Amino acid sequence: MEAAILPRFGDADAFEMATIPIPRPAAGQLLVKVQAAGLNPVDYKTRMGKGQAARFTLPAILGWDIAGQIADAGQGAHKFKPGDRIFGMSNFPGPANAYAQFAVVQENEFTLVPDNVPDDMAGATPLAALTAWEALYDHAELKAGMRVLIHAAAGGVGHIAVQLARITETYVIGTASAQNHPYLKELGANECIDYREQRFETATAPVDVVLDGMGGETALRSLDIIKPGGVLVSLPSMFKDDPDVLARAKEKGVRVVWMSVRPAGERMEQIAALMAAGKLKVKVAASFPLKEVTKAHQLLESHHVQGKVVLLPN
C-alpha cells in the first residue's frame, strides 16, 4: 500500500511517499481501506515535533481521523461485516497511521457511516466532533437558555460546536473574521464577533460558557466575559494549568477545564445519528490525494480554513 511517511519532524515538506506492507488486524481489530483521513491542528503540531510527537517513533505515519470500508477483521471482531463503511478517531493520542491506503483500528472506537454522509465528510468528522461534544455536553454541561461563546467558530471544532450548541437551544456567539459571519449565521449562531475589529469581552453580554481553542491571552481575556459560576473549556494542551488563567479564574469564580479528547465508539454512534437526521453537517473545505499531503498541511497551517481539510488515500 501507499503511505505518507514522516521520516523526521519538521516542516510540511518533510513527508515522503512510500510503498509498505498492508498491516494485519489482531484480535478485536479491523483492517480498513481508508477512503478519507481528516486533518486536525494536532496533526501539524505533531509533525513539527510538538503535539503528540513524544508518542511516536520515527519514521511515523500520522493521522487519527479515519473513514473507510472494512477489508478484514481480527478474531472476535464481530460488530461489523466486511464492506461496511465505518468512521472514528483511532487510538488517540497514540499512533493510528491514518495517512495510508489501509489502517488497522480498534472495533470499539468506530461506528457505521450514515448512508447520507459521503466519505470525505465522514473522514472530517471524528476528532473535531468528539472534541466539541465532550467540551459542551460533558464539561460545560450545556443546557437550554445558556449563553455560550465559541472562539474560532468557523474552524474545524468551532463550526461543529456551533451546531451542537444550537441543538440544545442555547444562545450562541461565535468569534470569526467578518467574511465567515454569513456562514456562522447559516449554522445557527445568534451573534458573530469580528475578532480583528472588536474585543470580544466587551462586544456582547456575559456568557455561561466559553469554548476556547486558542489558549494563552485568549483564555485569559475570556474569563472577563464569563459569569460567576460559569466555565471555560480550553483545548490547547500547551497552556494546561496556566497559572495566570487559574489565578484569575479563582478570583472571578469561574471553573476552568483543560481537556484532551479520547476515542469513543458509543459517542460516535450519537454523532452519526445527528448526521443521519441532518442536524449536524461537517464542512469539508478542501480534499487532497495522499501524495499531496504537504499541500494539505500547508493549508491547515494557514489558520484560515472554513471547516476541515481531508486526505483521500484511495
CATH number at residue 175: 3.40.50.720
How far, in Å, are 129, 204, 273, 278 from residue 115 at the CA level?
A: 18, 40, 11, 12
C-alpha span between 110 and 193 (Å, rounded): 36
pLDDT of the residue at 304: 83
Q: Give the total number of structural domains in the chain.
A: 2
What does residue 138 show for φ and ψ, rounded to 5 degrees? -85, -55
Give yes or no: residues 210 and 157 share one domain: yes
- Name, in order, each residue with C-beta under 8 angstroms of 179's C-beta and a sequence gap of 6 or more: none
Position 208 in a domain: yes
Do 139 and 206 fall within a single domain? yes
What pLDDT is stored for residue 294 in this prediction? 98
Joined grid coordinates for residue 284: 469539508
**Residue ranges in the chain whose pLDDT is less than 50:** none
The total of other beta-carbon atoms located within 10 Å of residue 59's CB is 13
Q: Given this model, what pLDDT does residue 242 score?
A: 84
Reported as a single tens digit per residue, the pLDDT across 117-164 is: 999 999 999 999 999 999 999 999 999 999 999 999 999 999 999 999
Note the pLDDT of residue 236: 76
* Residues of the domain holding 187: 128-258
pLDDT value for 238? 64
Write down the number of H helices and E strands in the chain.
10, 15
300 and 224, same structural domain? no
| Same domain, yes or no: 132 and 114 | no
pLDDT at 60: 98
The verdict on 133 and 250 lying in the same domain is: yes
Q: Do 84 and 189 fall within a single domain?
A: no
pLDDT at 61: 98
If asked whether residues 16 and 111 sit together in one domain, one would say: yes
- Does one domain contain both 116 and 56? yes
Let me know if residue 270 belongs to a domain: no
Q: State whether residue 96 is helix, strand or coil.
A: coil
